[in-house]
Structure 1
């Protein structure tokens, strides 16, 4: 099967990556060119041109998913490749050495927002399917491409994909994310929460006539930091995921209206980015945080706080005995002559929800895992080509092996 790798066209992989990066797909509400629609349409047209059956489904206005099939015509397993179209903001362009949407090639790298996370890997998945088609290699079953919107946000794209029934019958999924071609079999879970403390407005010169929500918030944050410390001690440093964390990110007071230095606000808000690891249960962690707030309320009759969890993504763990892991590991050895490196994803991916839908997932792809969301984001061309070959070889290995009995 190694011969399929000879049908991977490096120039094609590079060109497609550049074309994808050159279409900005940062979600900016209210801006006509501020979402994934244009890049999704480009991808859909490209997939039709190479001969795939393509569906474009709008999740919300201007934010479509693209779904495509390569069907062998023979009954068998279904392997899903998933790679999203959206990218994070480029931020301050003055911090970039290259135009973030020019897809400049320099020193064997493609620079640009999304080159690493994850338009390069999207190009690799598409070109891998193209290589399989060109090779004429026989297999049974189907390859399904899921190219959703909004992975960088609330992941509404993959949720819509599952809700419409596309995940039914999928036997395994490869999540195409920048992991340096390491085989990631686990990933952190995530809880996104909003914590609000309430007070009473007052003159800054006479603070005792009001109730300061900021000092109450400070107590809550310190108490949550202590909970984080206890969880880190209890669980230790996970060999693939590191430590769990409870991180306040946005801090705002007042929540509405203009802040003034001589005014005690009536409300303070912080967002919590909570990352969990195997051994943590979200329901228990939520209960512990609520208990902390209740205890602070007993100490201070004026302490009033509300914790709202707005999103949950449980941690995932895929057995190394799963067929998709075994097939990809075999493909990696055949391709490189080396044993694969197994690891974990430090963040959450769309694979979280595919895992919840009962699909074994493996996350891998080109790109330095520390580069996403940075200025001067890049992907190494050599590694990107290797990823394309790995995707093609993994798919054929998976789809030409009989399904194991579970």
Structure 2
């Protein structure tokens, strides 16, 4: 196997090109400590970037002041409302209809507790983010799958069947919408989201939108918040700066209610607000207020990497089917033509020493696929595809 190339720091404005592999291997987070050092990790959704300067300054200033107590106030919600207005032309994010929660998935759990009871159905579009299955089943709800269509978009016939099935049980049903969708990267448009709201209203299904990847869309794409479309007034959304600014270790998120769901969100237990980190809220607030230029540089870098990956696969792994998507920094690769079975990630790890997320963990439709994290340097992405090709020899 060829020696690993080194992504070298330079004066490029692309944050994805600022850290060397040696720098990255000093990290102690999950991405860099789960596998041995000879494995190139392109799996979990951590970005290979330095922290945005406004975020780093906000954290260090707080530490210098000893400002490390309990979270308080509405600064995070106000920053998100301003960001939504500037980025998505949405004025409907009302600070008084928000609640701070520890992170998006724990916020989803708390919201589902408000809307459903034990044994009630929660509809998901598979293949989908694995914690949707884990968290929903651990809180004693039932997952009902509504598979995506062949193009990776919502299949409304499938969704209606799932809603009809969920509503027939007589319980309180919810729909956990992933927007933008993980792992496919699909960015749902306003027409699709309006159709979701209408269908949910017809069957009495409550919509909970996971919009954690909302800021991370292609430069030529636009994101539409679910709560901004007609008919979504009784929906709820979970938002965070964590994915877009690589802040998973600085816990904080916001639950946002539509006008008709405000009273329900107000019933969230007070102790839930103790879960977010005060430093996390400071970091997320700084990111949303002052990290726009950094975010746009990352978005441009991810756009470049989508094009790079498409070219590399065409050259080295032409059997892999890849449709570059407009959202997230994740790539969903259909490896079924390679003949590596249901879990090609296992072969890429064992024979190529590159770690990818196995498609089987994303539910129905994931077998034979892998999810690859594009938020790395072009050099490391190139090396990853080379290793994947080696796994076939």
TM-score (norm 1): 0.25
Of structures 1 and 2, the larger Rg is shown by 1
Between Structure 1 and Structure 2, the one with more helix by share is 2
TM-score (norm 2): 0.26
Between Structure 1 and Structure 2, the one with more strand by share is 1
